[in-house]
Amino acid sequence: MTAWPDPDRTIITRHLAKLRLRSAISRIYYRQVLHGFQDVAERHPAIDQQTLQDWLRENGARWHPSTLLHRARIVDRFLDYLVGMELIAENPIAVLRGEYSVKQSRPIWQALASPMPDRALTELRRPKPFGSVLGEIMRDHVALMRSRGYRYTTQTTWMLRFDRFLQAHPELGSKPVAVMLEHWAAAKPTRNHAAECERLKRALAKALRHRDPSLPAGRPDARPQKEVARHYRKPHIYSPADVRRLLEIARSYPSPRAPLRPLSAYTMLLLAYCAGLRRSEVARLDLGDVDLECGTITIRQTKFFKTRILPLPDGVMVELRAYLDARRRAGAPQGPQSGLFWHDQGNDRYTPAAVAWQLVDILRRAGLKPPSGRTGPRLHDLRHSMVVNRILQWYRSGVNPQDRLPFLATYLGHRDINSTLVYITVTQDLLQEASERFRLVGAACLNLTREVRA
C-alpha cells in the first residue's frame, strides 16, 4: 500500500490525467486546489475531519463561499480516488455522511466550514434508515423483494417516509400497526399522500404476512388512487402539423459552438415521436444499436427490463443515415458502444436530462409551452401522440385497432395492452373515427336484433 501524501506529488498528476477536463485552465485550477490541500494534509498525522476543517479555514478568508464549496468538491473527488487506490483508509466526508445519515456531501462541507462545525453537524443528523419499531420488518421485506428480482424502489421510499414518521413519534411505538397508519395518513391532507398511505398499507400487510401467514390479507381502498387519477394532467396530443413545426425548429436551432446539435435534436425528436421512445431510451442508444441494413434500432434493458428491436419507416431511416454521416464528419467516436447522440463540447453522449432540456426548449420556441415553468405540453406527450395518431391512421386505413393493440404494446415496450390503454387519449378526431366505424360495422347488428324481436 503506497502512503499518501507522497513527496513528489505524482498521485495528483495521475488523478488529473484520469479526469476529462475540458480546458487547460481547469487543469491549472484543479492542480492548485489539490496541491494546497496536500500542503495542509502534510501537517496532520492522518486525513480526518480536523484536516478538512483546517483546509476550509485557511481558504475561507480568500475564497467566496460558493467557490470554496466548489473546490471542496474537487477535494472530495480526490479523496474518493485515494480510497479507490487504497492510498488512504477512508474518505472522512463519506464517514460523516454515514454517521449523520446525509446522502450528499455538500451539506457536510457547509457544516465543516461554519464557525461551529460540531453544532452544524448535529443539526444535519437525520433519522437512521429503518430505525423505527417496524424498521426491521420493512428492511427485511425490501431485501426479500429485491432478492426476487424486483427493483422495489418506490415502495422503499414509502416505507422510509413512514419509518421517519415513526421515529419522530416514539409514542406510537406501542400502538397497533393500524393506528400507526391512521396517524400517518392524518399527517398530510393531500390527495397524493392519502393514495400513498393506502399503497403503503398494502405493502406493509404483505411484509407482515411473510412473518405471520395467518394474518388476514385485507382489501385495499381504491378510492384515494381514483381521486388522484381524476386530477391527473391530461396529455397534450400533438397534431402532425405540430410535429412538423417542431422538426423545422430543431433543424434551425441556433448553435454556433456545436454545429452538430441542431441535427442531433432533429433526430432525437424524430425517434421520440415516430418510434415512441422515452427520453431515457433516446439517451441510452448506442451506435451499435442502429442496423441500417435491416432498418431497425435496438432498445436495450429499459423499463420492465425489456429489450426490443423496432423497425423504422424508410423516411426515418433516411434521416438517421444523414445524421450518422454528419456525426462521423464531426469527429465523433465510431465504436459500437459510443453514444448515438454525441456532443462535441463534452466529447460524450447526451444524458437523459440534457435530452429533456434540449427538446423542451424546442417546445418553448415553437410556442407550445410557456417560456418558463412546468405547465403546458410535456416531452412525454410525444409518446402519447404517437399512439393516438397511429390509431387514427389505422381507422382511416380500414384496420381494426383492437387487432393491432398487442403489436403496439410490444413496440412501446409494455408488458400487456393494459399499459398501452393509458396512452389512448380520446380526442375529437378519434371519437369521430370510432363512431364512423361503428356506424359501418356495428349498426347493422342493431337492426338485425330488432328484426329478430319482431
Q: Which three cell numbers stand for residue 356?
A: 429533456
Ramachandran sector of residue 107 (left: φ over 0; alpha: ψ -120 to 50; beta: rest) = alpha
CA 368 → CA 246, 275, 359, 375, distances in Å?
9, 21, 12, 10
Using CA atoms of 266, 267, 268, 273 in order, give the dihedral in degrees to the nearest 10.
90
Question: Whose grid coordinates read 433543424?
Answer: 251
* 403 vs 270: CA distance, rounded Å: 26
* 229 vs 237: CA distance, rounded Å: 19
* 387 vs 342: CA distance, rounded Å: 28
Using CA atoms of 286, 287, 292, 296 in order, give the dihedral in degrees to the nearest 10.
0
Q: What is the dihedral sign for C-alpha 225, 227, 228, 232?
A: positive
* 224 vs 217: CA distance, rounded Å: 19
| C-beta separation of 198 from 220 below 8 A | yes
| C-beta separation of 96 from 121 below 8 A | yes
What positions carry a catalytic annotation? 278, 303
Strand 348-349 to strand 296-299: parallel, antiparallel, or no bridges (unpaired)?
A: unpaired
Contact partners, residue 286, CB within 8 Å, separation at least 6: 300, 336, 337, 338, 339, 340
